[in-house]
Amino acid sequence: MEEIPAEVVDEESLGEWLHGELTAAFGLETEEWARERVNRVTERLHVLRTAGRRLQSEILWMQTMSAFTAPGGYLYVTRELLQRAASDEPVAFVVAHEMAHHDLGHTRIFHGWLSRLRHLPSSLVAAALLHGAGRWLMGPERELAADSYALDLCVASGYDGEKCLELFDILEAYALDHRDLDIVYGPDAQLFPADSGMVGWLAQARNWGWQHARGYPCIRERKSILWTHLDVLGAPL
């Protein structure tokens, strides 16, 4: 298996190389309805972005429901996620969330990561990014910041905030279909009920460790935080 090419020396070249690897491995969506939806949403969000470069949204032909970004000029949405969304709003939130990682400077962490991956097979690098290494590197704090940024950008762009948060219903249904209860509700807290004293502290520590292992808080917590944020924005509920 080939290692990362020697010419991949910075974030820009890493992004272009990953784009080629992912395109070759999974293929890009060619159906017009799918491409038109994602491009329409991306262009609408670009109008009010106040930071960062223009990004190109790509649709990977995958059955896994996911979205992610990387250094360079691309962000990725899988076909499985796209086809589960009944309107533009959940897609807009996904795209805005990945834009946020660029605009908030989160992708800079890949620069140090790249040097550690230099001698790994390129297929393993692409697979690691696809299956969550990026989110694990970013961590729950950055993911929550990207959530907040995404909702702000969507509402400012004229999208219905309530419909944007339907994304989390889609994510929850998908997770439950795959029996991933933890990512929906959080880790089982029966061993350490969060009441008071040392027991409550242990529950908080356990939840902190779980979040950093998964890369982000559970779906219910993320949605609850965003509902509160939407209320603060004064958006109609």
Q: E strands along the chain, which residues?
A: 56-60, 67-69, 74-78
pLDDT reported for residue 223: 96
Measured CA to CA in angstroms, residue 155 lies from 35, 82, 113, 223 at distances of 22, 20, 34, 16
User: Does the residue 49 lie in any domain?
Assistant: yes
CA atoms in the 13 A half-sphere facing the CB of 37: 23
Q: What is the DSSP-derived secondary structure letter of residue 62? A: -
User: Does the residue 6 lie in any domain?
Assistant: no
User: Does the residue 178 lie in any domain?
Assistant: yes
User: Does the residue 91 lie in any domain?
Assistant: yes
Q: What is the pLDDT of residues 21-36, one digit of tens each?
A: 888 888 999 999 999 9
Total domains, the chain: 1
| Residue 165: band (very low, low, confident or very high) from pLDDT cuts 50, 70, 90 | very high
User: Does the residue 5 lie in any domain?
Assistant: no
User: Does the residue 193 lie in any domain?
Assistant: no
Mapped onto helix, strand or coil, the DSSP state of residue 233 is helix
Residue range 154-178: average pLDDT?
Answer: 96
For residue 97, the enclosing domain spans 11-186+217-233
Q: Read off the pTM.
A: 0.85
pLDDT reported for residue 235: 47
Return the structure tokens found at 113: 């990561």
User: Does the residue 209 lie in any domain?
Assistant: no
Q: Is the dihedral of CA 199, 200, 201, 206 positive or negative?
A: positive
